[in-house]
Amino acid sequence: MEHKDRGFVGKHYLMKQAFGQEELHQREAVCTREDPPGCSAVCPLHLDIRTVCAYAAKGDFAKAAGVIRSVTPFLHLLAKGCPGACKEACALSRVGEGIQVRALEKACALYGGKERGSRFLIPRKNKKVIVGGDDLFALACCWELGRKGYEIFWYTRCENQREPLISWGLTEEEAEADTASLELFRMTQKVREGEASEWGACGDAVCLSPCLWRTGLPENVFGTEKKWEKKDGAAWILAWAKYVSAKVERYLQGASWEGMRQPGPQESRLHVTMDGVEGSRAFTGSEKPDRELAAAEAGRCIQCQCLECIKGCVYFQEYKRNPRGAVREIYNNLSIVMGNHMANGMINACDLCGQCKSACPNGFDYPEVCKMARKIMVETEKMPPSVHEFGLLDQQFSCNEAFLARPEPGYEHCRYLFFPGCQASAVSPDTVEAAYRDLSGRLTGGVGLLLGCCGALAQWAGREDLASEALEKIRSVWKEMGEPEVICACPTCMKILRERTEISAVGVWQILLELGIDPVTDQTVAIQDACGARGDQKIQEQIRDFAGALGCKVEEAPFSKDLSPCCGYGGMVRFANPEMAEKKASFAAGRTSRKILTYCMACRDQLTRAGADSIHILELAYGTGAPPVPDLSRRRANRLKLKEKLRQEIWKEEIRREAMLPVFYENGAEEEMDRRMILKSDVEAVLKAYEASGEAVEDPEKGWLAASARIGNVTFWVKFTETEKGYLVYGAYSHRMTVE
């Protein structure tokens, strides 16, 4: 998508928008969360029936009546003269009977109190409007224009304001209640005489009932030729009165009324599922519905709303957002040139997994907006480096110190190249080794090995430069080995290679299914589908076939396959917002009591951390088990040890190891360092700097020394003592301040 650079010129301020206002509105329109439900859409007045039901269900008929009176004061009339199309449009009618709204309107009229208001809250406008007619339409126009603050002169042959309502069958008492609010307006009733064409000179605008309307009248005279019968319902007349009155007001304000939508039913786009909703019968009360029964009827309302993207997404649940509102917030966040960017945290807490897009009936792509926002924030220097730095450094480690690319011994070019992904080597290196030995032993034509990173971390962080650098390194190895077919053990790696390169990639599960695998268990498992396989039904089915071949019985957990939630590692959330990552992992782990089988090693790691009995499908296949989850330092050490071991045992290379400092850790220190994302290598770098300089600060109370060293953008401090065996570390912390 082309970005529109608004090029702010200033001291050093950069600004760039992801898209313009028009595209923002187009994106917002995809989400139907704020669209009216079927009952309100079909209502000529578009009453907020959900809110009416919500208040009435609590027995608060005063507030329920207030919702209706914000649209029309004629509650008794609606209860008696509305055809009730909303009942048929109610979502409950799919499984039973819809809400009896007319009974609720009657209850609101009876128990909602009289119209309350103050004439002092009505604006006072210095324009006069003539309303001509003897019917409900004319009375409704008086109310619509009167509440806007215009002075009303009602030209009519009616004896009083109640007469049009009594003609609809209302009692004197009911008609008096429905017209009570008219007393607040500057309204004068006059006997209708003369021709309508002459009335325009008596006021600034004229509003005529259909029986008086004809073409050729002055431009300040408004009306409609539409005729109604009582069977059409009072709501339609009230709706048309609202429409014509709005045209009058626009005329008085000097505005155009072109493009105004005429009254009519709308099609509701709101997606409402009836999962778990049981059918029920509507309350059929008497002319005077019982208060408690009316509240019970309102309580049947399921408060229709689309929650498909929120049901399985901890991110939206925690931030209490829907995608439509969140996109607007991100757009506004990118518009800020100076000051705090309040939505940064929200942008960086999305795991970009695409679950919400899969769940949305219209495919609302919220992660795409977050990705664009991150990229733009990096380009305009609005992304704090600290947010993603640890993850980016971890990617650099995989692409450098831990990187290994070798053809199978005896081959210069290979038919296959095994690429397990950085997380597999970090979490379960023995499984990577077992898989490579198996593949190279059973596949012909040579199987090369590539230990590295596909650049997903940089892509998630909006660092396209680092993502391209990682992919280019893979492409270079791939070409050197004769462009082999790449066997991936990570669905995210496979997806990135397929989408961003010309490399042919296939899943290791597919290859092993073709080669044949032996059953190893007969237990029932649930599968955690990887985000990288979202939308790829072929991979999802292959994994289930693989599990079946291993002897597993698969029990689908809630939110599986395309709706599977992220484990919390994706999108760099593991580093940018550890608390959110933990909540996501807990949600994913809590969907089932079964052993969880994963085919993404990051998923296995995250779910195990959350307390789930989790194992990777290759760990199960090769019997390597699920080792305890490694901390951040161990993850790096695992990658290095795997690289060294394979170089020694398979490629017969000599390994020279640097002498390690003798460092020991007090109980709890390593756990604290892991939470703070401080590596043991960082601690050793500080201690080496101390050995070189001898500079440290002594704490006389604790008896330890504190030394520091700046590594990249971060200053690390280590608290330690020197013992006969080496350094004993009590803790470490870091900051980004520069002390001068």
Amino acid at 505: A
Distance CA 663, CA 726 (A): 6
Q: Are 446 and 407 in contact, with CB atoms under 8 Å apart? A: yes
* pLDDT score of 14 more than 80: no
* pLDDT score of 485 more than 50: yes
- What's the average model confidence in pLDDT over 79-83? 86
Q: Return the H-helix or E-strand segment holding 675.
A: helix 669-675
Q: Give, in order, the Cα–Cα distances in Å from 139 to each of 136, 144, 239, 382, 519.
A: 5, 9, 12, 58, 81
The end-to-end CA distance of the chain, in Å, is 44
* pLDDT score of 442 more than 50: yes
3-state SS, residue 307: coil
Q: Return the H-helix or E-strand segment holding 65.
A: helix 61-69
pLDDT of residue 337: 60
Distance CA 137, CA 529 (A): 60
Q: In the structure, what pLDDT confidence band is assigned to residue 381 with cuts at 50, 70 and 90?
A: confident
Residue 368 structure tokens: 């795409």
Residue 463 structure tokens: 């660092």
Q: Are 548 and 647 in contact, with CB atoms under 8 Å apart? A: no
3-state SS, residue 418: strand
Tens digits of per-residue pLDDT, 491-544? 999 999 999 999 999 999 999 999 999 999 999 999 999 999 999 999 999 999
* pLDDT score of 286 more than 60: no
pLDDT of residue 417: 98
Lowest mean pLDDT among 30-34, 137-141, 184-188, 285-289: 285-289
Tens digits of per-residue pLDDT, 118-167? 788 889 999 999 999 999 999 999 999 999 999 999 999 999 999 999 99
Residue 11 structure tokens: 């001291």
Mean pLDDT, the chain, as a whole number? 92
To the question of domain 119-251 being in CATH 3.30.300.180, the answer is no
Distance CA 162, CA 381 (A): 67
Residue 172 structure tokens: 């004197």
Amino acid at 422: C
CATH 3.30.2310 occupies which residues in the chain? Answer: 663-735
Q: What contacts 27, CB < 8 A, 6 or more positions away?
A: 19, 327, 364, 369
Q: Give the percent of the chain with pLDDT over 90.
A: 78
Residue 443 structure tokens: 């596949």
Distance CA 548, CA 555 (A): 11
pLDDT of residue 738: 62
Residue 612 structure tokens: 């789930």
* pLDDT score of 467 more than 90: yes
Q: Give, in order, the Cα–Cα distances in Å from 349 to each of 331, 581, 713.
A: 16, 8, 22
Residue with tokens 């769940």: 359
Q: In the structure, what pLDDT confidence band is assigned to residue 11 with cuts at 50, 70 and 90?
A: very low
3-state SS, residue 732: strand
pLDDT of residue 198: 85
Strand stretches in 45-168, DSSP E = 128-132, 151-156
* pLDDT score of 446 more than 60: yes
* pLDDT score of 666 more than 80: yes
pLDDT of residue 340: 65
Q: In the structure, what pLDDT confidence band is assigned to residue 107 with cuts at 50, 70 and 90?
A: very high
Tens digits of per-residue pLDDT, 387-441? 999 999 999 999 999 999 999 999 999 999 999 999 999 999 999 999 999 999 9
CATH 3.40.50.720 occupies which residues in the chain? Answer: 119-251
This prediction has a pTM of 0.85
3-state helix, strand, coil in the chain (%, to 5): 45, 10, 40
pLDDT of residue 289: 83
Choose from 33-37, 47-51, 195-199, 270-274 the range with maximum mean pLDDT: 47-51
Q: In the structure, what pLDDT confidence band is assigned to residue 193 with cuts at 50, 70 and 90?
A: confident
- What's the average model confidence in pLDDT over 467-488? 97
* CATH class in words for 663-735: alpha beta
What value, to the nearest 5°, has the Cα angle with vertex 487 and ends 486 and 489?
Answer: 135
* pLDDT score of 707 more than 50: yes
Supply the DSSP string of 308-331, one letter for each residue.
Answer: HHHHT-HHHHHHT--HHHHHHHHH
Residue 66 structure tokens: 């207030």
Q: In the structure, what pLDDT confidence band is assigned to residue 333 with cuts at 50, 70 and 90?
A: confident
Tens digits of per-residue pLDDT, 210-229? 999 988 889 999 999 888 87
pLDDT of residue 201: 86
Q: In the structure, what pLDDT confidence band is assigned to residue 338 with cuts at 50, 70 and 90?
A: low
* pLDDT score of 717 more than 70: yes
Phi, psi dihedrals of residue 500, rounded to the nearest 5°: -115, 0
Distance CA 562, CA 51 (A): 34
pLDDT of residue 6: 39
pLDDT of residue 120: 80
Q: Are 732 and 722 in contact, with CB atoms under 8 Å apart? A: no
pLDDT of residue 457: 97
Q: Is the dihedral of CA 716, 722, 723, 725 positive or negative?
A: positive
> Three-class SS string for 421-486?
CHHHHHHCHHHHHHHHHHHHHHCCCCEEEEECCCCHHHHHCCCHHHHHHHHHHHHHHHHHCCCCEE
